[in-house]
Amino acid sequence: MNGAAGSQPVPRSERAQDTDALRRRRLAWRLAALLLLGLAAGLATGAGGFSPTRFWADLHGEQAWLLFGEIRAPRTFGAALVGALLGLSGAIAQGLFRNPLADPYLLGSAAGAALAVVLVLAAAALAGATLSLATALWLERIGLVVAAFCGALAGVAMTLALARGAVQTLRLLLAGVVVGVLLGAVSDLITVAWPDALRGKQAFMLGSTGFLGHSSLLLLGGGLALLTWAARRHARALDALTLGEDSAASLGLDLARVRLALVLMLSLGTALAVSQAGLVAFVGLVSPHLVRRHAPGAHGWLLGASAAMGAALLLGADVISRAVIAPQELPVGVVTAVLGGLYLFVLLQRRGQP
């Protein structure tokens, strides 16, 4: 894969920066190619599994618009958008907390969003109108997003309160784990108390792109555009934060305001992704990692590249989830957890060696 150029023990000269720029350009091309490949594979993978010949036949069949326009295209692009949102949120979280382990899941925001969604589903089930990801209409989706956003914010707020701010990284991560476990337990409790709420929840908790339609696309796309714009405006602030909070403050950064804005952004990104596709783990953690490993750079680059990486990863995972046991499906969250877990496993193994 990538050469060992970046690990040469030479001082950071102009040449090293040149190679970094080169690596970034190379990664950008690779990501673009991967995205195109992923989108093509997503469109070619249907209930019959991955099959280009069948794709061709379907494309000329009577149901072409139904299959591609209504089902596969929204689902495939939706997977890419959810992945991008998670990748972007992960990059924001890791920059904000200057910790490569920070991700929407570790900060309690995903757990908060998930709990809020479960509450909405449970309330709806108790009210007699069972709504689930599958039957969610436009308004219900908005309702779920708003609830998920509030939940995500509450989750992060609890984490920050428990950690007494984001100053001590270790404390913050521990607090995030505690909050995640707590909120997860409450959501489990709800499912035990009201088994009716379970029906919609199980599929949701495992993550699914199966019912992403045009309305979700609009929501996810709009959210991603807004977040990308807002995040890029804060790219310089994130760069300054990597120097440490004191240095950042000495550069004239209003730390409180910047932190709040970044937390809001990462909560919104998580909430959008979770409310539309359920819990899809590891994409937010792994994407920024992969980008930094293969082509480090400032946040102006990192944010966008992590989003693209997340999109490519989730596209791949989605295709796998649809193709492996077609016409049955694996929950996409399980696929990402397996792939992400394996990646971290290999990474730790390598780090462990002298």
Partner 1 sequence: MKRPLSRRAWLAGPLLLAASMAVPAAAGGVALRDDRGTEHRFAAPPRRIVTLLPSLTEAIWVLGGGSRLVGVDRYSNWPAELAGLPRVGSMDDAHVEAIVALAPDVVLASASARSLDRLEALGLRVVRLKSETHADVRRSLQRLALLLGTPAEGERVWARLEREMDDAALRVPAALRGARIYFEIGGGPYAAGAQSFIGETMARLGLANIVSRELGPFPKLNPEYVVRAQPDILMGVRAELQGMGARPGWGLLAAVRNDRRCGFETLQYDVLLRPGPRLGEAAALLADCLVRLGKA
Q: Which of 128, 252, 352, 354 binds partner 1 (CB under 8 A)?
A: 128
Q: Which tokens belong to 308?
A: 């693209």
What letter represents residue 132's amino acid? S
Measured between alpha carbons, how far is residue 57 from residues 36, 44, 49 in Å?
21, 11, 14
Q: From 35-43, 67-75, 156-164, 168-176, give the range in contact with partner 1 by CB under 8 A.
A: 67-75
Report whether 245 contacts 262 (CB < 8 A). no
What letter represents residue 126's amino acid? L
Coil vs helix vs strand at 224: helix
Is residue 37 exposed (0-12), middle (13-18) or buried (19+ Cβ within 10 Å)?
middle
- Residue partners of 225: CB distance under 8 A and separation at least 6: none
Distance of closest approach, residue 210 Cβ to partner 1, in angstroms: 5
Distance of closest approach, residue 42 Cβ to partner 1, in angstroms: 12
Rank residues 304 and 331 by Cβ distance to partner 1 and give the closer one: 331
Q: Is 165 in the site for partner 1 (CB under 8 A)?
A: no
Rank residues 68 and 97 by Cβ distance to partner 1 and give the closer one: 68
Distance (Å, whole) CA 102 – CA 94: 5
Q: Which tokens belong to 235?
A: 């790219």
Q: Count residues contacting partner 1 (CB under 8 A)?
A: 39
Residue 45, strand partner residues = 50
Give the footprint of partner 1 on residues 300-339 (CB under 8 A).
Answer: 322, 326-329, 331
Distance of closest approach, residue 295 Cβ to partner 1, in angstroms: 35
Rank residues 136 and 154 by Cβ distance to partner 1 and give the closer one: 136
Distance of closest approach, residue 129 Cβ to partner 1, in angstroms: 5
Rank residues 328 and 353 by Cβ distance to partner 1 and give the closer one: 328
Distance of closest approach, residue 329 Cβ to partner 1, in angstroms: 5
- Nearest partner of 180 among 279, 256, 96, 252, judged by Cα: 279
Q: Is 129 in the site for partner 1 (CB under 8 A)?
A: yes
Q: What is the CA radius of gyration of the chain?
A: 21
Rank residues 115 and 131 by Cβ distance to partner 1 and give the closer one: 131
Is residue 130 exposed (0-12), middle (13-18) or buried (19+ Cβ within 10 Å)?
middle
Q: Which of 32, 70, 185, 342 binds partner 1 (CB under 8 A)?
A: 70
Q: Which of 35, 79, 131, 317 binds partner 1 (CB under 8 A)?
A: 131
Angle made by CA atoms 162, 179, 135, in degrees to the nearest 5? 140
Rank residues 42 and 180 by Cβ distance to partner 1 and give the closer one: 42
Give the footprint of partner 1 on residues 185-224 (CB under 8 A).
Answer: 192, 195-196, 199-200, 202-203, 208, 210-214
Calculate the CA 79 to chain-centre distance: 10
Give the footprint of partner 1 on residues 1-60 (CB under 8 A).
Answer: 46-47
Q: Is 98 in the site for partner 1 (CB under 8 A)?
A: no
Give the footprint of partner 1 on residues 235-294 (CB under 8 A).
Answer: none
Rank residues 88 and 205 by Cβ distance to partner 1 and give the closer one: 205
> What are the backbone dihedrals phi and psi of residue 46, each rounded to the nearest 5 degrees, phi first?
-120, -155
Q: Which of 74, 87, 104, 176 binds partner 1 (CB under 8 A)?
A: 74
Distance (Å, whole) CA 161 – CA 60: 58
Distance of closest approach, residue 245 Cβ to partner 1, in angstroms: 46
Binding site for partner 1 (CB under 8 A): 46-47, 63, 66-67, 70-72, 74-75, 128-137, 192, 195-196, 199-200, 202-203, 208, 210-214, 322, 326-329, 331
